[in-house]
Each structure stands twice: as C-alpha cells, then as structure tokens.
Amino acid sequence: MNDLQRSAKEPSTKARLSFPQTGRKVAIYFLAALIVSVMIAWFGFLGWGFVAMLQRLSDYVKDLWTHF
C-alpha cells in the first residue's frame, strides 16, 4: 500500500494522455472550431440578408414618399 502511495506522489509518474485520448481531444477541438466558424458565417449571412432587407424597405419607402 505504501508503494502505491509513494508512486502516486512521485512527479515522474505523471499521467500522460494515450494516443486515442489525444486524438479524441484533437477531434473535439476541431469540431468545436468548425461549429464556431460555421456559426460566424451563418450570422454573417443573416446580417447581410437583414441589411439587404432594410435597403429594400428604405427604397420602397422612398418610392412611396416621392409619389405623394
């Protein structure tokens, strides 16, 4: 029991990530970055559409205003 406690306290026996654990972490970080970039692009398209809609609305209001 003392040997287990000593080996747990020694800095040389630090737990290292095995390759499957490292690969899983890399995959999770890659997917998280992909999701964030897709969200940024999606909000960019939504913003672009909103600006285009506001431009059409302002053109429509200007046309109405000139007719009166």
Per-residue pLDDT tens digits for 42-51: 999 999 999 9
Determine the Cα–Cα distance for residues 6 and 13; give it in Å rounded to an integer.
10
The pLDDT of residue 14 = 53
Residues 6+ apart with CB under 8 A from 7: 13
Report domain extents, the chain: 18-67
Regions of the chain with pLDDT less than 50? 13
